[in-house]
Amino acid sequence: MALPKAAPRILCIGIPVRDLTFRVEAVPQRGSKANATHLAEICGGNALNAAIAIARLGGRVTFAGPMGDARETSSGFILERMTAEGIETSNIVRMPDVSTPVSAITIDATGERTLTIYRDPALWTVKLPDADELLDECHSVLVESRCAAFAIPLCTEARRRGIPVIVGVDRAMSLQDGLLKTASHLLFASEQVQETAGITEDGEALRRLARLTPAFLAATRGPHGTIWLNEAGELEETAAFPIQAVDTLGAGDVFHGAFTHCLAEGEGVREALRFAAAAAALKCTRHGGGLAAPQRFEVERLLRGAL
């Protein structure tokens, strides 16, 4: 897949998080203790992980969303990492006397993660910068589903301008959520699509949601691949790449970022899903959340090897 002459510009909307990750053999039982074998401080959050993936795949990334007080250690740490990844941060809104989210993440020997996170409720009162500024030369918008409260007006304007809006869904959505109508593409995880639709089977859950939204619908299922609805309303599946997972933290976010970037380069959903599956698989083979997102040459090498 050749790079276009000009890399696409993608706007990512979300709430950055400072992650403290602990590796353990097994998650401790309630009321007990466990010794971690490794500690790392990284930046995270759904949209930020996706933004890092996009930047490493060759995209131009602008990030918009709330961040805590400028005096904080957490926000300064995150901004340094974003700058190092080449992510444009001038549209991040600093909120005085508000805390940047912090999470404690426990990763067991299978690579599965358990999270505890604090998000200041005031973050959802943010007002994003002007749409003309954010959407100028924008090829795609990627937004966290949790950001609907402050992102829907901008996403609506993006769709009016013909810009795709991809929503990474990592929790159940209300059937009245405005992003169901605004999005051009909705990427669920299996658990969340079932909870949102109220149906305990991925395919039927997607079919129910298709009656409520015009968006492209897909549900990721980890090592079992991705199930999605094509233009004819038929279910299709995109296989996952077989790997030995050591850390699944941020894998879904990397998938969303790679999918969005591939679409922005002009590829169809089938190609984008395959590209995203390769990127997410590579991320799972290494520790570090979104900071373990692969470079483009690694994804292309994996795709060539699978032919």
Which percentage of the chain shows pLDDT scores above 70?
98
Nearest residue to 164 (alpha-carbon basis) of 201, 123, 215, 88: 215
- Mean pLDDT score of the chain, rounded to an integer? 94
**Nearby residues of 179 by Cβ (< 8 Å), 6 or more positions away:** 143, 145, 148, 151, 152, 155, 167, 173, 186
Q: In what order do the strands lie in the sheet with 9-13?
A: 88-94, 60-67, 9-13, 140-144, 165-168, 185-189, 216-220, 226-229, 235-238
**If you average pLDDT over residues 136-149, what whole number do you get?**
96
Domain ranges of the chain: 9-15+46-95+126-302
- Predicted confidence at residue 220, as pLDDT, reads 97
Confidence band, pLDDT 50/70/90 cuts, at residue 307: low
Q: What angle do CA 38, 43, 47 make, to 5 degrees?
A: 135
Extract long-range pairs of 126-130: CB within 8 Å, 24+ residues apart. Answer: 126/65, 126/66, 126/93, 126/95, 126/150, 127/93, 128/13, 128/64, 128/65, 128/91, 128/93, 128/154, 129/64, 129/91, 129/93
- Predicted confidence at residue 5, as pLDDT, reads 58
Nearest residue to 272 (alpha-carbon basis) of 190, 203, 187: 187
The CATH topology of domain 9-15+46-95+126-302 is UDP-N-acetylmuramoyl-L-alanine:D-glutamate ligase (3.40.1190)
Which percentage of the chain shows pLDDT scores above 90?
82
Q: Coil, strand, or helix at residue 18?
A: strand
The sign of the torsion formed by the CA atoms of 145, 148, 150, 156 equals positive
**If you average pLDDT over residues 84-100, what whole number do you get?**
95
Confidence band, pLDDT 50/70/90 cuts, at residue 4: very low
- The model's pTM is 0.92
**Nearby residues of 208 by Cβ (< 8 Å), 6 or more positions away:** 197, 198, 199
- Predicted confidence at residue 1, as pLDDT, reads 45
- Predicted confidence at residue 181, as pLDDT, reads 92
3 has a pLDDT exceeding 60: no
277 has a pLDDT exceeding 50: yes
2 has a pLDDT exceeding 80: no
232 has a pLDDT exceeding 60: yes
Confidence band, pLDDT 50/70/90 cuts, at residue 183: very high
Distance CA 3, CA 162 (A): 22
Distance CA 163, CA 28 (A): 46
